Structure 1
Amino acid sequence: MAENLSGNMQEANTGNETSVSKIVGKQSVAFRKPPYIIAASSIAGKKEGEGPLGTLFDQIVEDPMVGKENWEAAESELMKMAAQKVLTKAGLKNTDIRYLIGGDLLGQLIATSFGIAELGIPVFGVFGACSTMGEAMIIGSTLVEGGYANKVMAITSSHFAGAEKQFRFPLDYGNQRPYSASWTVTGSGAVIISNQKDPNKNTGEPDIVITGFTTGKIVDYGIKDSMNMGAAMAPAAFDTIKQNFEDFGIKPDYYDKIITGDLGYVGKNILIELLKEVGYDITNQHMDCGMEIFDQESQDTHAGGSGCGCSAITFAAYILKQLRERNWRRILFIPTGALLSQVSFNEGNTIPCIAHAVMVEAR
């Protein structure tokens, strides 16, 4: 870790020695041996390919059904494609991966279980809604840094039609979407986290490492509108970002970019105002994946993008590129998730949310 963070690590008494603990503050961890991100893949749908980041994705799938009979099977296929692509880019086989950490938005994680079953990799299925990529990266990097795995794949996916069917209205219903509604990204992104440097990187490129993380808490401000996810998730992003600053004793300008996952245009403004109220102004550093992936005017996506695939493919295709090219040195990556279900929504419950922060550096 950077020197200005080391003083915030807690000291642990180990017999006759005093060693530096990896535990930082209330909710954070600082890795002593930061794991490397050695490869990433991004598979995007047609609409995503037509957006501002379209030229950066590894593959754009024109057919929303991906040759399958239903939306759920299509999403599974997207995840399988992302897994195979990241293995190819890393020059690895499925047997080289110790664990796969993955999840999606569908009930019982069926996109993941059906998508990666044939790979034969030991799996941890995780659910954090749209924050799942952050959660998967945190768990994967902890396993690698702790010496429990040498290579781990973190992967997630989402599909516009599958998400609309499950959480809102089936497409055949033809309902009008309010301007606060976000557009679920069709796509799948994956990264491979390793205890060794990337042997395939170009000469002069930096190593990309995960230096630490701040695990989010469930935050519920009482919002019930599933068509306004940005407002629901912004308080969770606020809580985690503030805790990251406090745990490490840093200010917003420690990072070149503070990147949320799925807040969109509505949630972005709420997040910035909430942080200003407690003395942190992230206006100059903040970026949101949901705002980057679509063109708000020409693509009619209203509040922006969302879904597990939103932050995953933006991270894999765009954010890592900026780090590799040394445009950014240090970022805080905070995918945000709304933890509602069909049952909770139909029973009129509020929308609890969560956000996980991953600290990534180019060295």
Structure 2
Amino acid sequence: MAEKKKGKQTVEFVNPPYIISTSSIVGPKEGEGPLGNHFHVVLQDDLYGEKSWELSESKMQRECVKLAAQNGKLEIKDLEYLLAGDLLNQLMAATFSARALEIPFFGLYGACSTMAESLSLGAMLIDGGYADNLVAVTSSHFCSAERQYRNPLEHGNQRAMTAQWTVTGTGAAILSNKGKGPRITHVTTGKVVDLGIKDANNMGAAMAPSAVDTISTHFKDTGLRPKDYDLIITGDLGLIGKEITEEMLKDEGFDVKDVYTDCGVLIFDGEKQDTHAGGSGCGCSASVFCSYIYKEMLNKKYNRVLLVSTGALLSPTSSQQGETIPGIAHAVSITNEI
């Protein structure tokens, strides 16, 4: 019997890993948003000195890992695994970053759920005794995502009001079996949920049901309730997806409105920055968690956080073939109180 398994989809760690350091790098637009002062690095140029947006994103990952290691007083050679992902074909940003860093590499794809996925699997490796130190990192880039999923920027098409703005950003977290910092106590692995949404310009609605399924399962598996958390935060639902999630969770018997928000809601000022339904992308929950949330946990503003990164598992091919948009959400419970 799996002794660390709790309920249907949750793992409770015997030796909860520490998050000993983080780092975040974001683009100029993100730096102008409400969380601008919390990010470790704000770029002045979306190309970051590279010749393409894809290589810029890869450089963001690479430099973010280096900065997280520096913040944790570690060297790159001390990191036994790199768990990384992005939105690009064949994980181009993560793979090219791994090529340069020369850390044993697990490439992960969970769309915008990838940060919580990497933290989940990293915590399992640490708790299982397979590593002492590792890094989880995830990124996205507005320009590379637009080129892959939608239209060339030169097209200048009008965006639907339900559309979200892909975050140019990356976040890296160092997990360790010793040290100081918040600890990961539980992870709830999500299932793919698809309620038939086909509109690729309304991904918040497509992802919300998976967030509801994972959050409600987390509560049922652990016996915890919304009041046990100082903050429950989804990754990339934006304004529309957040509202749907809140309503659906209430129908499930979980009233989260006093402690719940979304990274895509926090990262931009929708009115001043014209981001319509808010932020999205792998780098959304990654950069917000590894800056604002982590810092506020160190400051003890938040002592127990449930991070639920959410992903829309569509591709240009699936959209062109008329498929619906499957959603996935993974939850990571992080606490100071051990």
TM range (shorter): over 0.9
- Please give the alpha-carbon distance, in whole angstroms, between the structure 2 residues aligned to 1:55 and 1:254: 29
TM-score, scaled relative to structure 2: 0.98
- Please give the alpha-carbon distance, in whole angstroms, between the structure 2 residues aligned to 1:56 and 1:273: 30
SS in 2 for 1:116: helix
Indicate the residue corresponding to 1:57 in structure 2: 39
Please report how far the alpha carbon of residue 277 of structure 1 lies from its aligned counterpart in structure 2 after TM superposition.
1.0
Residue 223 of structure 1 pairs with residue 197 of structure 2: yes
1:208 to 182, 205, 209: 182
2:309 to 326, 335, 341: 335
Residue 361 of structure 1 pairs with residue 329 of structure 2: no
1:93 to 75, 92, 108: 75
- Please give the alpha-carbon distance, in whole angstroms, between the structure 2 residues aligned to 1:247 and 1:26: 6
- Please give the alpha-carbon distance, in whole angstroms, between the structure 1 residues aligned to 2:225 and 2:41: 37
- Please give the alpha-carbon distance, in whole angstroms, between the structure 1 residues aligned to 2:15 and 2:239: 37
Indicate the residue corresponding to 2:165 in structure 1: 183
Q: Which amino acid aligns with 2:163?
A: A
Residue 114 of structure 1 pairs with residue 96 of structure 2: yes
Gaps of 5+ in 2: none
Q: Which amino acid aligns with 1:28?
A: T
1:262 to 236, 240, 260: 236
Instruction: Report if aligned partners of 2:229, 2:304 keep a CA contact under 8 Å in 1.
Output: yes
Instruction: Report if aligned partners of 1:101, 1:136 keep a CA contact under 8 Å in 2.
Output: yes
Please report how far the alpha carbon of residue 116 of structure 1 lies from its aligned counterpart in structure 2 after TM superposition.
2.7
Q: Which amino acid aligns with 2:266?
A: E
Residue 346 of structure 1 pairs with residue 320 of structure 2: yes
Residue 235 of structure 1 pairs with residue 238 of structure 2: no
String of CA shifts for 1:131-176, please: whole Å, max 9, x gaps. Answer: 0000000000100000000001000100001101111111111100
- Please give the alpha-carbon distance, in whole angstroms, between the structure 2 residues aligned to 1:156 and 1:249: 30
- Please give the alpha-carbon distance, in whole angstroms, between the structure 2 residues aligned to 1:239 and 1:210: 21
Indicate the residue corresponding to 1:123 in structure 2: 105
Please report how far the alpha carbon of residue 315 of structure 1 lies from its aligned counterpart in structure 2 after TM superposition.
0.3
Please report how far the alpha carbon of residue 112 of structure 1 lies from its aligned counterpart in structure 2 after TM superposition.
0.5
Gaps of 5+ in 1: 1-11, 13-19, 199-206
Indicate the residue corresponding to 1:202 in structure 2: none
Please report how far the alpha carbon of residue 21 of structure 1 lies from its aligned counterpart in structure 2 after TM superposition.
2.0
Residue 73 of structure 1 pairs with residue 55 of structure 2: yes
Please report how far the alpha carbon of residue 250 of structure 1 lies from its aligned counterpart in structure 2 after TM superposition.
2.2
Q: Percent identity?
A: 52
Q: Which amino acid aligns with 2:3?
A: S
- Please give the alpha-carbon distance, in whole angstroms, between the structure 2 residues aligned to 1:91 and 1:197: 11
Please report how far the alpha carbon of residue 68 of structure 1 lies from its aligned counterpart in structure 2 after TM superposition.
1.3
Instruction: Report if aligned partners of 1:189, 1:313 keep a CA contact under 8 Å in 2.
Output: yes
Please report how far the alpha carbon of residue 328 of structure 1 lies from its aligned counterpart in structure 2 after TM superposition.
1.2
Indicate the residue corresponding to 1:3 in structure 2: none
- Please give the alpha-carbon distance, in whole angstroms, between the structure 1 residues aligned to 2:94 and 2:225: 37
Indicate the residue corresponding to 1:103 in structure 2: 85
TM-score, scaled relative to structure 1: 0.91
String of CA shifts for 1:236-263, please: whole Å, max 9, x gaps. Answer: 0000000001001222111111110001
Aligned length: 337
Instruction: Report if aligned partners of 1:221, 1:235 keep a CA contact under 8 Å in 2.
Output: yes
SS in 1 for 2:116: helix
- Please give the alpha-carbon distance, in whole angstroms, between the structure 2 residues aligned to 1:305 and 1:138: 23
SS in 1 for 2:307: strand
- Please give the alpha-carbon distance, in whole angstroms, between the structure 2 residues aligned to 1:118 and 1:268: 38
- Please give the alpha-carbon distance, in whole angstroms, between the structure 2 residues aligned to 1:229 and 1:281: 23
Q: What is the root-mean-square deviation of aligned Cα atoms in Å? A: 1.0
- Please give the alpha-carbon distance, in whole angstroms, between the structure 1 residues aligned to 2:114 and 2:252: 27
- Please give the alpha-carbon distance, in whole angstroms, between the structure 2 residues aligned to 1:344 and 1:249: 38
Residue 278 of structure 1 pairs with residue 252 of structure 2: yes
SS in 2 for 1:344: helix
1:247 to 206, 221, 232: 221
Instruction: Report if aligned partners of 1:79, 1:116 keep a CA contact under 8 Å in 2.
Output: no
Q: Which amino acid aligns with 2:191?
A: K
Higher-Rg structure is 1
